[in-house]
Amino acid sequence: ALDRAWWKEAVVYQIYPKSFRDSDGDGVGDIPGIIDRVDYLDELGVDAVWLCPVYESPQADNGYDISDYRSIADTYGDLDDWEELLDALHDRDIRLVMDLVVNHTSDEHEWFQRSRRREGAYEDYYIWRDGDTDEDGEPTPPNNWESVFGGPAWSYDDAREQWYLHLFDEKQPDLDWRNPDVREAVYDMMEWWLEKGIDGFRMDVINLISKTEGLPDGDPDSGLTGAEHFFNGPNVHEYLGEMRDAVLSDDDLLTIGETPGADVEDARQYVGPDGDGLSMVFQFEHVTFDHDEHKWDAGDWSLVEFKRTLEKWQTGLADDGWNSVYLNNHDQPRMVSRFGDTGDRGSSADRTPSGDDEGYRRKSAKLLGTLTHTLHGTPFVYQGEEIGMTNASFASPDELRDVEAMNFVEEALEEGRADSYDDVRDAVEYVARDNARTPMQWSDDPNAGFTDEDADPWLKCNANYETVNVEAARADEDSVFNYYRDLIDLRHDRDVLVYGEFDLLRPEDPDIFAYTRTLGDERGLVVLNFAANPVEFATPERLSVDGLELAVSNAEASGAPPETFELGPYEARVYLTS
């Protein structure tokens, strides 16, 4: 019998609240705005929402810096609004997964404020150390670890006269998970949210919570100095096991760990009943395989390598574990700009030949959606992906809002790696997180229908909203949106797409991503052309295509699989047994 779970059969929709829908005209999205669009989610057909942080926060990292875990930021609304959202979703059988950010808090969290004053039990809530001094007697940090957002991972606190560790921004001090009081406080907070009836947690950088004892220097030649001492650290499984026993074991929850730097072996330890019990993780290998030393060097990528990376995860977690499937989120560039083809529209990275002024935007967006909905694992749709939103254009650094991107530009200029912004503009427009965070494009009204016409959105809208928007997409039978509805329906209807075994065909084919899915007598064949030109693909001889019929395609196709496929640019076909 199948080991069924609702979260294996679900399609999850990720909401970045700041950019989803603004109901009160302050230029920032909010919870009433989301409530207003719950019917839209229902129409799309998704089963769950992952809501990025809406908690009280000074917004140094758009809410990933939490100053109070048990209240909602004013700009998003209040707890009553949140309860109303939960009800509105549940009324439509859509579950709600909340973001859990517990590697760090905001420096404005009461815990940190008390800790810097060494108040009683809070004294050891964070990772405080004395520093060293250099030859000139200047204070230097306790070790050489680097922050993910650039610069040292340590800042000096004048009140406490010690350094504190922050793997991200200086306004995001790391909690000391060795302290049982910290862990207890986190579990209590989780229980508080669970009692409100939520359906799971997405756990921010959960594999970073344990650091090597003694905090030794890291290898200065690695991409991020110190990483080997805080990614998948020594006690992480002990803490996650304890968390499971304390708060997660009773409910049928979706728990997904965000685990940068985890390989398949690591993932097996986080996921499943024999591991820490998480439902799944967000792995990063398929979104970092094109990085050189650093994400800002991202560039050429090959389909062969992309396939190899995904196959490793597909097969590696097939029997004990489960995959999440995503190609973009609020930290990654828009998938259609990265893996598809947008011409020169909405992206400066014109890496592939274009068909017209927007390249093959629609067609390649559908192709990528076909991939995510037919791989083995739970698909995550990031807001705007379902209408084929693209990377944006940032003419000047003043248009950027993300701390990581702003630091990158500033450092490049300071360190002389760039003479002017123009030297790094391509990199910004290719990988900066702001690309994914431009406001959701609801209509061709001014400000894309995201906020009032005369309001100032917190981050500029992508200029292509006049054609790329929800209103236009809903009205157009042939839109990316309507194609996504079909994909989601199909996945709901057919167990083979959820539970079927994955087998990659022709791994070395440079243009075609093809695979089968098999579940007893139920079979599927997926053939995807990742090239901007027509490509032939011969059905492998040993493959039985008996009984297969076309189930969905982004082109004109029908019937049974031919002996030799002639696939148009970015053409996608899914065949299933009837």
Residues that bind ligand TEU (CB under 6 A): 61, 64, 101, 148, 168, 204-205, 258, 260, 295, 330-331, 404
Cβ of residue 522: shortest distance to ligand TEU, in angstroms? 36
The answer to whether 370 and 376 are in contact (CB under 8 A) is no
Could you give phi then psi for residue 511, rounded to 5 degrees? Answer: -115, -30
Cβ of residue 63: shortest distance to ligand TEU, in angstroms? 9
Among all residues, which ones are annotated catalytic? 204, 258
d(CA 303, CA 64): 33
Cβ of residue 14: shortest distance to ligand TEU, in angstroms? 10
Cβ of residue 294: shortest distance to ligand TEU, in angstroms? 9
User: Residue 162 pairs with which residues in a beta bridge?
Assistant: 157
Cβ of residue 282: shortest distance to ligand TEU, in angstroms? 9
Residue 341 makes CB contacts below 8 A (sequence gap 6+) with 352, 353, 354, 355, 359, 360, 361, 363, 364, 532, 569, 570
- Closest to ligand TEU by CB, 117 vs 294, is 294
Cβ of residue 19: shortest distance to ligand TEU, in angstroms? 13
Sheet containing 512-519: give its strands across.
501-505, 512-519, 522-529, 572-577, 548-553
- Closest to ligand TEU by CB, 65 vs 571, is 65
Structure tokens at 228: 């080997």
Measured at the CA of 404, the angle between CA 326 and CA 413, to 5 degrees, comes to 135
- Closest to ligand TEU by CB, 61 vs 276, is 61
376-411 in b/e burial notation, b at 16+ Cβ within 10 A? bbbbbbbbbbbbbbbbbbbeebeebbbbbbbebbee
Cβ of residue 225: shortest distance to ligand TEU, in angstroms? 15
d(CA 472, CA 470): 5
Cβ of residue 306: shortest distance to ligand TEU, in angstroms? 18
Structure tokens at 258: 């965000």
With 0-12 CB in 10 A as exposed, 13-18 as middle and 19+ as buried, what is 463? middle
- Closest to ligand TEU by CB, 326 vs 484, is 326
Could you give phi then psi for residue 117, rounded to 5 degrees? Answer: -95, 10
- Closest to ligand TEU by CB, 331 vs 571, is 331
Residue at 549: amino acid letter:
E
Q: Which of 513, 505, 558 is nearest to 364 (CA)?
A: 513
CA distances from 238 to 110, 143, 271 (A): 27, 25, 14
The answer to whether 304 and 294 are in contact (CB under 8 A) is no
- Closest to ligand TEU by CB, 168 vs 270, is 168
The answer to whether 152 and 158 are in contact (CB under 8 A) is no
238-256 in b/e burial notation, b at 16+ Cβ within 10 A? ebbebbeeebbeeeebbbb
Number of H helices, E strands in the chain: 18, 22
Residue 2: Cβ within 10 Å count: 11
- Closest to ligand TEU by CB, 148 vs 246, is 148
d(CA 242, CA 498): 30
- Closest to ligand TEU by CB, 211 vs 517, is 211
User: Residue 575 pairs with which residues in a beta bridge?
Assistant: 525, 550
Cβ of residue 218: shortest distance to ligand TEU, in angstroms? 16
- Closest to ligand TEU by CB, 332 vs 370, is 332
